[in-house]
Structure 1
């Protein structure tokens, strides 16, 4: 991929065919840009006393508006390493354990030790039909030690990008997808070890559930929906055997 193509790559809900997936570094560069941009988005409601939400309207090239949540967690609630162990490894499998709507996850293809395609099957209260989201998940595992004498905050990134398996050459992979309305989402999550010993968990996402659900209904509930994943995750994490 050329330098101009790297500069042009943008995270959106437009799905990529496997043959068109850019390099992991290209994906991470775009993810870092989005995370920094999210620090200036308009603040919305705060949920559960600790989960702040932000948003920005749909811009050029976006398929939907963007939403963000940010929470900070003291070490006695959850450590940086403890959170990363469950978010950075088999993320889709673990999400099934604390997100009630996820009923099934399947690994479609492993592209590298840090990039895999997953298909995720959601069910909802009728009359909303089941949804299928197929995504590439890329995790950033930078373990570099700074050569200066200054402490550099530890950070880890997970990027999820919608994938389209409809091409004939991907027919075998598509067989792993469950039947359901095809939804799409793109997201970037980052864990940062703060100077005060807490861990910041930031997540930015843009999505569409597909089907005939009016977009204004989806957008009006997004902030609360993404915020509730934080207490759901913490409750599940604390219940795990030590």
Structure 2
């Protein structure tokens, strides 16, 4: 399959294996994308133009974290489990999340409700999130989020908030390196929907995705210590 912002209907969701293969391929390709700015002294950003099967350009970020900043277990417990619920705690624009459907232990459909300063209207993003954890050394956890269209199931669609429908696809990987540090890599493509100019969205993407790293770390460090 090809990962893009084109939404899937719940009845057309591929297997975990197929989705993860596409996610792995995307992350591998991101290592050769065009380098952009480095933010917060540690978050490197990259970009890739929109391809023929893409609905929007791609952006990625990579950051390296020492064990004293965050361990693999700490990061995975907050990004690989109940990711949407936890994101609401460190991403200021997310005001409400709802688990629409638990498909399997590794697949859930979530809807996320974002608000922004006027005149931008609230946005609703509904995604399927798939997780994979490999605990063999080196430990590696991957989360893929792909947009979902719930219109074929009115009961599920009722769980979405009212707002302009946006779309995003993302692949996130937490990889434990040989020296014990963690590489946190994420690639995403998105559209906010509505009438926001594309150039405005694209020009701010790198800084926005980079900001999630310090937001997450600040929130993580505010929690009770775990190993």
1:175 is matched with 158
Deviations 1:11-41 (CA, angstroms, capped at 9, x unpaired): 0000000000000110000000001000000
* TM-superposed deviation, 1:124: 0.2
Q: 1:163 aligns with which of 122, 140, 148?
A: 148
1:29 is matched with 21
2:53 is matched with 61
Segments ≥4 residues shifted beyond 3 Å:
none
1:149 is matched with none
2:138 is matched with 153
* TM-superposed deviation, 1:129: 0.1
Runs of 5+ unmatched residues, structure 1: 1-8, 146-151
1:112 is matched with 104
* TM-superposed deviation, 1:196: 1.7
Alignment partners' CA distance in 1, 2:34 and 2:72: 27
Q: 1:206 aligns with which of 169, 189, 193?
A: 189
Q: Rg larger in 1 or in 2? A: 1
1:91 is matched with 83
Q: 2:207 aligns with which of 216, 221, 224?
A: 224
2:40 is matched with 48
Alignment partners' CA distance in 1, 2:133 and 2:209: 24
Alignment partners' CA distance in 1, 2:120 and 2:52: 30
* TM-superposed deviation, 1:142: 2.6
1:139 is matched with 131
Alignment partners' CA distance in 1, 2:27 and 2:138: 15
Deviations 1:159-213 (CA, angstroms, capped at 9, x unpaired): 000000112xx10000000000000000000000011210000000000000000
TM-score by length of 1: 0.92
Alignment partners' CA distance in 2, 1:80 and 1:44: 26
TM-score by length of 2: 0.98
CA RMSD of aligned residues (A): 0.7
Q: 2:69 aligns with which of 68, 77, 90?
A: 77
Alignment partners' CA distance in 2, 1:53 and 1:22: 30
